[in-house]
Amino acid sequence: MTGILLACGMMLIEPSQAQNLRRYRSSCSFYGQNQTQADSMGCSVEQTSRRIVISWDDGYTTTLEYNSSSRQWRSLPSSSRSTVRFYSETGDVAQVEIHAGPGQGLISIDEAIR
């Protein structure tokens, strides 16, 4: 039952439905292609309807941009196709899946620390 509730708490939305500018702190986990367990640490997220920047506490940055002509999120600078899921209650980023290239894997973002 818990898995069902969690799945219902996230959704895919069109970027135009997301609020303009959001900045928040959270805890992020990265599940890489060849990792036996996730790397987790603090992160800051800056989010607009067309761009998401995740600044990891170790100095790395993950940047995604929405391409309105293809209607897909892309990881920069590689332009790898990505899937972004948002928390339905807040519109904050919940998960990012980068499908190929450098940074391929799943980023899970806890609900924002407020």
CATH number of the domain residue 105 falls in: 2.40.160
Exposure string for 37-58, b = 16+ CB within 10 A, e = fewer: eeeeeebebebebeebbbbbee
* Residue 50 covered by a domain: yes
Does any domain span residue 32? yes
Q: How many domains does the chain have?
A: 1
The answer as to whether 114 is a domain residue is: no
Residue 78: inside a domain: yes
55 in any annotated domain: yes
Mean pLDDT score, 90-107: 93
**In terms of residue numbers, what domain contains 56?**
2-109
What's the pLDDT tens digit per position in 52-88? 999 999 999 999 999 999 999 999 999 999 999 999 9
Euclidean distance between the first and final Cα of the chain, in Å?
27
pLDDT digits (tens, 9 = 90+) for 22-58: 999 999 999 987 777 888 999 999 999 999 999 999 9
The single-letter DSSP state of residue 9 is: T
